[in-house]
Amino acid sequence: MVTGGWITVADRVRWQQKAVAELDVILAAHPDLPVLAWTIAASGAALSARVVVPAGQREVFAGWRLALGLGQAAETRSAHGSAGWLHARGVRGGVTVSLAATVFASDEEGR
């Protein structure tokens, strides 16, 4: 069955399996890092994780970014300065991997 163009459902399944295998490698290699919520894109071509970073605890994001071998993090601040966002991405084992974080500027964490 073709889902569009020349990409088949079998292609997407194979890509998802590749992303799952890479996630298994990542988790096995880094059992000491905090647990993250991981998402595999429906296309299977990308793996992403998101983390909430309390004020003054950016090392959670930094630790994962370094462990994953991702590029330099980009940072965006909110207009009011109460929160910001960090994002880094790279390719591991042929799978695009991205890491995003919401960083709170105070201990209120959005309250």
Return the pLDDT at 7.
85
Which percentage of the chain shows pLDDT scores above 90? 42
Q: Report the alpha-carbon distance of residue 88 to residue 104 in Å, rounded.
A: 17
Contact 100, 48 (CB under 8 A): yes
- Pairing mode, if any, of strands 95-104 and 46-53? parallel
The helix (run of H) or strand (run of E) holding residue 24 is: helix 9-29
Q: Which of 76, 22, 18 is nearest to 49 (CA)?
A: 22
The tens digit of pLDDT for each residue in 41-80 reads 888 789 999 987 777 778 889 999 999 999 888 888 877 7
- d(Cα 11, Cα 103) in Å, to the nearest integer? 36
The confidence score (pLDDT) of residue 108 equals 46
Q: Write down the pLDDT at residue 44.
A: 78
Kind and range of the H or E run holding 60? helix 59-68
13-23: pLDDT as tens digits: 999 999 999 99
Compute the average pLDDT of residues 15-36.
93
Give the C-alpha separation, 33 to 27, whole Å.
9
